[in-house]
A and B are shown apart, each in its own frame.
Chain A
Amino acid sequence: MSAGDMSGALLEITDLSLEFRGRGGTVRALEAVSLSVRAGEMLGLVGESGSGKSVTAYALLRIMDAAAHVTAGQAWFRGTDLLGCDAAAMRGVRGRGIAMIFQNPRAALNPVVPVGRQIMVALRHAGVAGGARAAALALMDRVHIADAARRFEALPLELSGGLCQRIMIALALAARPALLIADEPTTGLDVTTQAVIMDLIAETAREAGMATLLITHDLALAGEQCDRIAVMHAGHVVEIAATAAILEQPRHPYTRRLLASMPQGKMALTELRPIPGGLPDLRASLPPCRYAARCERHAADCDAGPLPRLWQDAHFIACRHP
């Protein structure tokens, strides 16, 4: 795969709608979500809890609750529609095409198998026949685990959260995927470790020419590493643009409030400006713009729909009054 080809989309999601049907009603978790990840880039998918960022990722890899139903949309990844392909094709995509790392690395590692052996299993699965042990040690080196030979036989419980996340990254790298989905990879780690792990993800992705979809609620974190950022609110993608454009010239009112709510420098707690209101109840019937109830720019014509469009050919926005 040529990392230089930045124009071609590696993953192209179009009009993905998904709902959870349960006894309490139908939750329309995603509505007409469209976004693309280009080869080699890091795209940040940002939004508050419940905005649908993780659901989008899980829908791509089809590991969803039985109550989840994709009602519309396609997700093309290297010639395969992830939402329509059969189980065998899906297994081929998982790991080799798209790998994923999780919020709680310790829970994602088998507690009774030494971590080095888990990497060996992943390598063998990826088709590394001989010398899996040496290859596993090399991977551990690559994610900067000091003293890899000694840590090889350690159980996940004997390692710190940061080390476990490094092991997870090594596991994800084992099959040389084209796309890495990192779902809140640094939540639960302390702040200094967070930065180190984010740098590591960015570094390994760059080295491997691997695209990354970084799912996070932390706009500042996404701002540090991502090439582009997509902002989600209540199951809608409201804005997608290059990181600098999002941080310096945000267009959507929600993105602006999100930026304003970030603590900066020496700020007193009272100076923080939280976004008024909460996410709307996704079970109720919603206005075309799901941010309308919280929006300070709300106008009468907003009920005609958020008018999704490209601003100056590069800045996607779904708002009538940017």
Chain B
Amino acid sequence: MFLGEGAGAFNHRSWNAPMSTTVSSPQTQLSALPPGGSASKESIAHARRRRFRPYLVLAPALILTIGIFIPFIAAICLSFTDYSLNSSDVSFIGFDNYLSMLQSSDFWHSLWITIEYAFLCTAVEMLLGVGVALLLNDENIVARFLRIVLIFPLMIAPVIGTLIWKLITNPSVGILVGPMRMIGLGDFKWAASPDSAMFSLVVVDAWVYTPFVIILVLAGLRSLPKSPYEAALIDGGSPWFVFKNLTLPMLAPVLLITLVFRLMLSLQEFSIIFALTEGGPGDATMSLSLQAYNRAFPFYGLAEAIPMMLFLWALVYFVSFILIGFWRRAQQRAAGVA
């Protein structure tokens, strides 16, 4: 009624029935199954259909991704030509664009500005952000209020934020003119002077992006497990000891991923610099993005601009690749601590 021939000896209702003493092999030997002993054509097709399903579901995104990919391919191709926006004949010139880029002092200046900008912004935002996040990880009315409104500077367009700061530091209507005069900096020129342009950019960038660091670090702080702290409390560790040996290692993954995001985006920041200084005064804040923009648009040197951007892309990748490696290790280590 229900068993194959080979298994017939083990009629399952015979729980109390006398059994033969020696069971040569109690392992049920099933007779070869008559139909479908091996996968049928149908089932192979079925399996193939299933294997294909992920790609089918991904297809729209993949097509769009390829669409997005085109500019990158085109950029690489264009970098080997002398294409410009005001002439129609194009010829292949090999690595000439790259060579002239490497020989240009403008490029090296802009690279330095780019790194300086990214370093200063990231350093200020990380220090300020971690500090504020530690202060905010507490229940008091100021902290609760700040946690809610904190996101406003981050959510409004960086360009709008820059615009507001332009108004604030404006010599005729700016609110900061009076106070600056009071502390003896009446002629502080903010973005208008080459000496303070970078400083002004960092202030604006920090205003826009510090909340980003705060929000992520705060989330990291709040997800820390409680038990190691209780243990440390029993062991009587000082607050600094606890921070250095517990909080920091457990927070390391969040800190690193925040650092990656901030570095990647500040290395290629365009809109804040464009809105505040346009790379000036002179070329005091001419980062690679601004340099490429200026080459390509007002001066039609598209082919000269692209190698710089490819270089920047490579730089962003290199930095993030290394940091993400650290991040993965920190995650594993943090898992060990927790």
A binds B: no
Using a CB–CB distance below 8 Å, which chain B residues touch chain A? none
